[in-house]
Amino acid sequence: MQNLLHWRLLVAVADSGTITLAAHQCGMTQSGASQAIAQLEDTMNTPLLVRLPHSVVLTQSGEQIVIHARAMLAELDAIQHYAHQAKSAHVGKIRLASFPSAFSLLLPSLLRKFKRRYPAIELVQLEGTDQEVENWLALETVDVGVVLNPGKGRQSYPLGQDLWLAVTTNGHPLTRGRHPVDFSALAEHPFVLATGGCQLNAQRLAQMSGFELSNVRVTVSDWSTAITLVREGIGVSLMPASVIPPDAPGICTLPLRSPLYRHFGLVCSFSGASSAPVQTLLQYLQDHLPLPVSS
């Protein structure tokens, strides 16, 4: 098998019609080019050129071989172009911020696979409250962050959604018939306010619905602690479905009569939006995340 310079020389000869000019274009001496053409003809076991006094022309075999040589070199150029682009897109650092439940529930498996696929991209994960994530994005401290309920006018990349569920003990009066409950009726009972480190929690949802949680017995940031407190009879609660274990003993979950969701979206900082590694991450998530269900 000849090297690529031989094939580039053959195509240059076909285009220029002379070995002398083709040799100059390929950075070779005329004698070196003539020897290379002879090696090609010997390897192909067929004459490729007819040498005239002041030029050369391709034989019929030479014309057909040049067609394939052009295609081969075009594919090589495409590979080199891709590799050049990938060098900037697949190397670098991404600072990704999120609140705890998104890291633990939404992203771990995908991020592990992303790191295996793009080992030269360093992924720095920062964990904070939802408000801290917003602040980091505004201050350009991070490149991309998981945001709760990004506004419709804000460019974001959907990650998914989570249904809010009422959480009570088995046998609680609200569980009779296992019917959906009104948020206002849930709020009339002693309440365990679980925040998950986010401003968007039951208290905020109640205020958005026009009332207050007037009987909050305890406020905790950890979802599992809140479930334990509900099980101990301290109060009822409202939590995202994804943080509630499916086999939590002594716990009953009920949907709200008017369903409420929290939506997750990836938002770029100003500088992050122009980062090639960030665009690689966004494309990867877009290709591997299930389509979000509209509510």
**Between the CA of residue 9 and those of 15, 23, 72, what are the distances in Å?**
10, 7, 13
d(CA 100, CA 248): 20
Residue 1: per-residue pLDDT = 45
Tens of pLDDT, residue by residue over 190-210, are 999 998 878 889 999 999 888
E strand intervals along 28-112? 49-51, 56-58, 92-98
Tokens of 160: 């998914």
CB 155 within 8 A of CB 226: no
**Cα angle vertex 180, ends 175, 186, to 5°?**
70
Cα–Cα distance between 43 and 7 in angstroms, integer? 12
Instruction: Work out whether the CA dihedral 153, 159, 160, 161 comes out positive or negative.
Output: negative
The helix (H) or strand (E) run that includes residue 206 is helix 202-208
Integer-rounded Cα radius of gyration of the chain: 33
Per-residue pLDDT of the chain (295 residues; tens, 9 = 90+): 468 888 988 999 999 999 999 889 888 898 988 898 899 888 889 999 998 888 889 999 989 999 999 999 888 888 877 777 666 668 889 999 988 777 666 677 788 889 999 999 999 999 888 889 999 999 999 999 999 888 877 888 888 888 999 999 998 999 988 899 999 999 999 999 998 878 889 999 999 888 889 899 999 988 999 999 999 999 999 999 988 988 889 999 999 999 999 888 899 999 999 898 999 998 888 888 765 444 4
- What pLDDT does 47 receive? 92
Q: Measure the CA–CA gap between 34 and 20, rounded to whole angstroms.
A: 9
Task: Give strand ranges (E) for 48-197.
Answer: 49-51, 56-58, 92-98, 121-127, 144-148, 157-169, 191-194
Whether residue 133 contacts residue 143, with contact meaning beta carbons closer than 8 Å, is answered with: no
pLDDT tens digit sequence for 31-56 = 988 898 899 888 889 999 998 888 88
Q: What's the pLDDT score for residue 106?
A: 67
248: its two tokens:
């939590």
Whether 236 and 166 have beta carbons less than 8 Å apart is answered as: yes
pLDDT, residue 295, reads 42
Q: Which of 188, 195, 196, 233 has its CA nearest to residue 213? A: 188
Distance of CA 238 to the CA centre of its chain: 30
Residue 110: partners with Cβ closer than 8 Å, 6 or more residues away? 284, 285, 288, 289
